[in-house]
Structure 1
């Protein structure tokens, strides 16, 4: 190498540049597997969430679509509870197998209904056909009387109120008339109730099977308490219904008010609806009484207040000691809400549904307190 010459320094070749990675969370998101990767837990977690929300929406839509058969099934459960209560009561006096006792109760119910319609069916059907035009004529008379005394109620408003009243009891009077659809529905409910009452323990175990194993003992206890509550509620209601219907029909017949038999049957059925049923039967009794003359109208009012006094001061306090105690305002609010949402059947089932909900919420609260203690 010649003196004075410098050897050039060869610089190493620069390595291929890597793209600069974005710092922080973006790098984490790129490195982590996404929901599209089916083998990851994130995918199945998101899928479960989606399925749960879709199931909730589908269940809500299904309830809206099938609300009428659901209410019929609930009505069958209520009837089954009543049959079961009668079977248990009969067992205190007649120590025979449960199936025979249930058969006696069902036969008695069928015989009573058949006897009632056989002896009074024609008269009740004729009276039921005469009731709607009679009430409409009474509404017109009330409107004319109010206008004559300077009260501008308007015939349209009163007629609308009368139509709403008739609409409220329309299905009740249809049961007493020749409504084949309603009768067939009642028969189906009774048959389903008989099946439920025959194998009550089987269906109770089936409901408890839907609960996790660790909670099944609590589920059995809850089902027993709900059944006990419904039996007491329906027993008290049935006693009040029979007393109200019998007293109303007998007193109206004694005072000479027409359609006494029909009004007694309607009072019996409407007594199933506390608060609202008494008001509806009172309005019907008063309108029918005043359709004859003023004297029979006052007789009808007297009969209504007499029956309500006997029921309020003698029957209800006696039955309430053994039945379920629920606040009247809560019961009335539930009836208004269920009646507006589901019609006459929802109105009839508001009380049992409220009683079941009350028991379930109370037992859930007790369990939480016990777990925290």
Structure 2
């Protein structure tokens, strides 16, 4: 007598499971769609977080050396960073601005001169034939336009990233604890440990990158000045900044230096190319701190693949932030999956 009454209950329970499964699937699809649609915004948030990590890493260095409180060290970190940047622009800004302006004005003439120099050799003629067609120009222009297309505009993006970085620097625990409120209680400790490991990894990576940028800018500036290349200061600054982007940054910074060197002759261009390559090899094997390499295993091929995909889908921000994203994903996979299956 009781069996017929149990079937509707079982059938209703099955329907509820179906609705729950469909709802979860729909929410997951919506979340993925929203994430893809707003991916560039997440990149700006990540860039702001990196700035906050830089300030806190600098503050810990000051704290360890001067034995001050962390709040005072953090304040000194922020102020000293802006003061150093301001002094650099004060003493070198006029010279760099003049050289960058000259570089922009003379670029068309420099390209024409470079073409004339290349046309004097058989290899240069073949290179010009393959790169001077209208189809290649259109494809290159379309790629560059898409690549440098930022989320809200270059200056707006910079403004957003800077202020996000300052907000994250001022109250990191507020944002971390707010995020942890969304995590189930049983997973909060693991999530907190993972966030801490991600922060530690990115801080070490940032230290290595900043140190590498400074050394590369100095070495290339001195080398270009010794070779007598015009606008050596501006080219060194470009090389230092672009060195933040592994693999592709140094290659991009090499092109304006080679173009300007070509105006002085093929031999000068070859010398500049050799100097840039030697410094980059030295940077990759000596300058970059060994602690950064041992900190996390990031295969070079994986970084290049990530840069290609991120650069294509998210432009310049994707290329800049591809490496820290790979580092974050590796740490998360290790903490959430690899450690659990090995326990």
TM range, normalised to the smaller chain? 0.7 to 0.9
CA contact (8 A) 1:270 1:281 kept: yes
Cα distance, 1:89–1:140 mapped onto 2, change above 3 Å: same
**What is the CA-CA distance between 1:329 and the residue it aligns to?**
1.3
| Aligned 8 A contact 1:236 1:323 in 2 | no
Shift of 1:78: 1.5
Mark the CA change 1:307 to 1:253 in structure 2 (over 3 Å): closer, same or farther: same
Matches within 5 A, 1:78-93: 78-93=50-65
Equivalent in the alignment of 1:4: none
Whether the 8 Å contact between 1:242 and 1:268 is mirrored in structure 2 is: yes
Counterpart for residue 137 of structure 1: 112
Cα distance change, pair 184–340 in 1 and its aligned pair in 2 (3 A): closer
Q: Secondary structure at the match of 1:273?
A: coil
Select 1:153's aligned residue among 115, 120, 130: 130
The residue aligned with 1:14 is: none
- 1:272 aligns with 244
1:127 Cα deviation after fit: 3.6
Checking the alignment, whether the CA contact within 8 Å between 1:256 and 1:296 is kept in structure 2 is: no
Within 1, Cα distance between the matches of 2:15 and 2:117? 70
* 1:92 CA displacement: 0.4
Structure 1 residues 99-114: aligned runs within 5 Å: 99-114=71-86
Structure 1 residue 295: Cα displacement: 4.1
Is 1:312 the counterpart of 2:281? The answer is no
Aligned with 1:192 (options 155, 158, 164): 164
Kept after mapping to 2: 8 A contact 1:139/1:158: no
Q: CA deviation digits over 1:117-139, x for unaligned, max 9? A: 34325324414523642564366
| Cα distance between partner residues in 1 of 2:10 and 2:71 | 61
Mean Cα displacement is larger for which, 73-82 or 184-193? 184-193
RMSD: 3.3
TM-score (norm 2): 0.84
Kept in 2, the 8 Å contact 1:77–1:193? The answer is yes
Quote the offset at 1:357 in angstroms.
Answer: 0.5
Q: TM-score if structure 1 supplies the norm length?
A: 0.78
Show CA shifts across 1:141-180 (max 9, x none): 4774567987342511664687579669868xx9xxxxx9
How far off its partner does 1:320 sit? 4.0
Paired with 2:78 and 2:14, the residues of 1 have a C-alpha distance of 57
CA gap of 1:135–1:162, structure 2 versus 1, over 3 A, is farther
Q: 348-357 vs 287-296, which deviates more?
A: 287-296
Taking a change above 3 Å as real, the CA distance of residues 148 and 66 of structure 1, as seen in their structure-2 partners, is closer
CA distance in 1, matches of 2:231, 2:130: 28
Instruction: Evaluate the alpha carbon distance shift between residue 191 and residue 221 of structure 1 in structure 2; reply closer, same or farther with a 3 A threshold.
Output: same
Aligned-pair CA distance for 1:298: 3.4
Q: Distance in 2 between matches of 1:146 and 1:101?
A: 59
Q: Judging changes above 3 Å, is the alpha-carbon distance between structure 1 residues 321 and 342 closer, same or farther for their aligned structure 2 residues?
A: closer
What is the rounded CA distance, in whole Å, between the counterparts of 1:241 and 1:340 in structure 2?
25
Match among 318, 324, 327 for residue 299 of structure 2: 327
Q: Which residue of 1 aligns with 2:310?
A: 338
Alignment partner of 2:211 out of 239, 247, 258: 239
Gaps of 5+ in 2: none
Aligned to 1:126: 101
The residue number in structure 1 matching 2:273 is: 301
1:190-229 equivalences in 2 (<5 Å): 190-229=162-201
Q: 1:206, 1:284 → 2: CA distance?
A: 46
Corresponding residue SS for 1:108: helix
Deviation of 1:75 (Å): 0.9
2-structure distance, mates of 1:199, 1:154: 51
The separation in 2 between residues aligned to 1:195 and 1:238, in whole angstroms, is 22
| Displacement after TM superposition at 1:87 (Å) | 1.2
Are 2:147 and 2:315, in contact at CA under 8 Å, matched by a contact in 1?
no
Number of residue-to-residue matches in the alignment: 334
Query: Residue 62 of structure 2 contacts residue 68 of structure 2 at CA under 8 Å; is this kept in 1?
Result: no
Q: Deviations over 1:280-332 (max 9, x none)?
A: 22233222211232343234224313422432342136454565442111111
